[in-house]
Amino acid sequence: MEKEHIFKQYDAELNDIRSKLLEMGGRVEKMIADAMKALVERDSDLARRTIAIDHEINHLEMEIDEKCLQVLALRQPAARDLRFITLALKIVTDLERIGDQCTSVAKRAIELNDEPPLKPYIDLPRMATCASVMVKESLDAFVRGDADLAIKVCRDDQFVDDLNEQIQRELLTFMIEDPSSISRAIKLNYISKCLERIADHATNVAEMVIFMLKGKDIRHTAPPTPLS
């Protein structure tokens, strides 16, 4: 009976880490959506609230880190559980850095909201939505152990990269045609870069999940391609 009790508690601890990670992921997704809404709807109050929430993300990171350390110290997990926990430790770092990127987007939104709009925002919200879905799916792939979903996330990264390049080119034409737009264009360019980095973090998570599940790293099996 005693042994069974310990097993149940151990399972509960692993489930707790899993659900805290998903909670952190959900909050980060909301940060992405809110930071973008603050830009599109010129809502600087929402931007400030988004920046304030980053604090909670950081606390969740520390909390999950501590939970993982406790399980490692007290339960001595082996094999699959050990890989799950060590990967959780790496994933929270990516989630926390996504939160940092959202904060950067929100700060630039506040600055942009003080100036006349440069153009209607269409591609940036599309990029944000795609990056947010990638974050969600990379975490789902992790908790469900779904390699196919993780592979999809890696593929979707190309779409975000392409959108980022397209946005950069478009902003460049604005800058060349009207030097008074330069300052705003640079800020929008920065936001585009932040969204691209968010997608990169999701891709990194997905790659690590594939490595956990298949025992091989998809990033590291292909030969180097000097010009791709």
Q: With binding defined as CB under 8 A, does residue 59 bind its own copies?
A: yes
Amino acid at 145: G
Q: With binding defined as CB under 8 A, does residue 12 bind its own copies?
A: no
Range 152-211, binding its own copies (CB under 8 A): 168, 172, 175-176, 179, 182, 186, 193, 204
The binder of its own copies chosen from 18, 30, 43, 93 (CB under 8 A): 93
Distances in Å between the Cα of 181 and the Cα atoms of 36, 89, 153 are 20, 43, 35
Q: With binding defined as CB under 8 A, does residue 3 bind its own copies?
A: no
Closer Cβ to its own copies, 104 or 132, answer by number: 104
Which one of the spans 3-11, 79-87, 115-123, 151-159 is the region binding its own copies (CB under 8 A)? Answer: 79-87
d(CA 219, CA 136): 21
Closer Cβ to its own copies, 1 or 73, answer by number: 73
d(CA 57, CA 198): 15
Q: By C-alpha distance, which of 28, 157, 17, 173 is closest to 81?
A: 17
Rounded to the nearest angstrom, the gap between the alpha carbon of residue 94 and the centroid of all alpha carbons in its chain is: 6
Q: With binding defined as CB under 8 A, does residue 213 bind its own copies?
A: no
Q: By C-alpha distance, which of 118, 94, 140 is closest to 192?
A: 118
The binder of its own copies chosen from 4, 120, 148, 220 (CB under 8 A): 220
Q: With binding defined as CB under 8 A, does residue 86 bind its own copies?
A: yes
